[in-house]
Amino acid sequence: MARLFSPRPPPSEDLFYETYYSLSQQYPLLLLLLVIVLFGLLALLTVAWASGRELASDPGFLTTMLCGLGGFSLLLGLASREQRLQRWTRPLSGLVWAALLALGHGFLFTGGVVSAWDQVSFFLFVIFTVYAMLPLGMRDAAAAGLASSLSHLLVLGLYLGPQPDSQPALLPQLAANAVLFLCGNVAGAYHKALMERALRATFREALSSLHSRRRLDTEKKHQEHLLLSILPAYLAREMKAEIMARLQAGQGSRPESTNNFHSLYVKRHQGVSVLYADIVGFTRLASECSPKELVLMLNELFGKFDQIAKEHECMRIKILGDCYYCVSGLPLSLPDHAVNCVRMGLDMCRAIRKLRAATGVDINMRVGVHSGSVLCGVIGLQKWQYDVWSHDVTLANHMEASGVPGRVHITGATLALLAGAYAVEEAAMEHGDPYLRELGEPTYLVIDPRAEEEDEKGTAGGLLSSLEGPKMRPSLLMTRYLESWGAAKPFAHLSHVESPVSTSTPLPVLVWGMMWPPVTLLPSHEPGEWGRTVTIHRRPLRWRLSSPACVLLLTSLHTLRIPFGAEESDCNQEKALSSFSPQWSLDRSRTPRGLDDELDTGDAKFFQVIEQLNSQKQWKQSEDFNPLTLYFREKEMEKEYRLSALPAFKYYAACTFLVFFSNFIIQMLVTNRPPALTITYSITFLLFFLLLFVCFSEHLTRCVLKGPKMLHWLPTLSVLVATRPGLRVALGTTTILLIFSMAITSLVFLPAASNCPFRAPNVSSTASNLSWELPGSLPLISVPYSMHCCVLGFLSCSLFLHMSFELKLLLLLLWLAASCSLFLHSHAWLSDCLIARLYLGTLDSSLLRPGVLKEPKLMGAISFFIFFFTLLVLARQNEYYCRLDFLWKKKLRQEQEETETMENLTRLLLENVLPAHVAPQFIGQNRRNEDLYHQSYECVCVLFASVPDFKEFYSESSINHEGLECLRLLNEIIADFDELLSKPKFSGVEKIKTICSTYMAATGLNATSGQDAQQDAEQSCSHLGTMVEFAVALGSKLDVINKHSFNNFRLRVGLNHGPVVAGVIGAQKPQYDIWGNTVNVASRMESTGVLGKIQVTEETACALQSLGYTCYSRGIIKVKGKGQLCTYFLNTDLTRTGPPSATLG
Report the run of H or E that residue 227 belongs to, with start and end: helix 170-230
Phi, psi of 779 (to 5 degrees): -65, 150
CA distance 534 to 524: 7
- Strand 998-1003, strand 934-946: pairing: antiparallel
Q: Which residues contact 206 (CB under 8 A, 6 or more apart)?
A: 609, 610, 612, 613, 888
List of long-range contacts for 1043-1047, beta carbons under 8 Å, 24+ apart: 1045/969, 1045/972, 1047/949, 1047/953, 1047/969
Q: Half-sphere exposure of 755 toward its Cβ, with a 13 Å CA cutoff?
A: 4
Tell me the three state secondary structure of residue 821: helix
Q: Name which of 1031, 1044, 1009, 1010 is nearest 1130 in CA terms.
A: 1031
Query: Exposure string (b/e) for 462-481, b if CB count within 10 Å is 16 or more?
Result: eebbeeeeeeeebbebbbbb
Q: How would you classify residue 513: left for phi > 0, otherwise alpha for psi between -120 and 50, otherwise beta?
A: left
Q: Half-sphere exposure of 1049 toward its Cβ, with a 13 Å CA cutoff?
A: 30
Angstrom distances, CA of residue 912 to CA of 310, 927, 1004: 25, 20, 18
Q: What is the DSSP string of 122-154?
A: HHHHHHHHHHHTS---HHHHHHHHHHHHHHHHH
Residue 1134 amino acid letter: L
Tell me the three state secondary structure of residue 1058: strand
Q: What's the distance, CA 835 to chain centroid?
A: 65
3-state secondary structure 1024-1047: HHHHHHHHHHHHHHHHHHHHHHCC
Residue 797 and residue 736 in contact, taking contact as beta carbons nearer than 8 Å: yes
Task: State yes or no: is 354 an active-site residue.
Answer: no
Residue 799 and residue 190 in contact, taking contact as beta carbons nearer than 8 Å: yes
Q: Half-sphere exposure of 971 toward its Cβ, with a 13 Å CA cutoff?
A: 24
CA distance 170 to 163: 10
Q: Between 782-798 and 725-743, two packed helices, what is the crossing angle to 10 degrees?
A: 170
The Cβ of residue 620 has, within 10 Å, a number of other Cβ atoms equal to 10
- Strand 364-378, strand 408-411: pairing: parallel
Angstrom distances, CA of residue 199 to CA of 89, 186, 605, 874: 19, 19, 20, 14
The Cβ of residue 35 has, within 10 Å, a number of other Cβ atoms equal to 14
Tell me the three state secondary structure of residue 448: coil
Length of the chain in terms of residues written: 1145
Residue 556 and residue 577 in contact, taking contact as beta carbons nearer than 8 Å: yes
CA distance 876 to 284: 81
Report the run of H or E that residue 377 belongs to, with start and end: strand 364-378
From 192, 213, 1084, 1114, active-site residue: 1084
Task: State yes or no: is 620 an active-site residue.
Answer: no
Tell me the three state secondary structure of residue 1063: strand
The Cβ of residue 622 has, within 10 Å, a number of other Cβ atoms equal to 15
Cα–Cα–Cα angle for 884, 887, 888, rounded to 5 degrees: 90
Residue 1067 and residue 492 in contact, taking contact as beta carbons nearer than 8 Å: yes
Q: Which residues are marked as active site? A: 1084, 1120
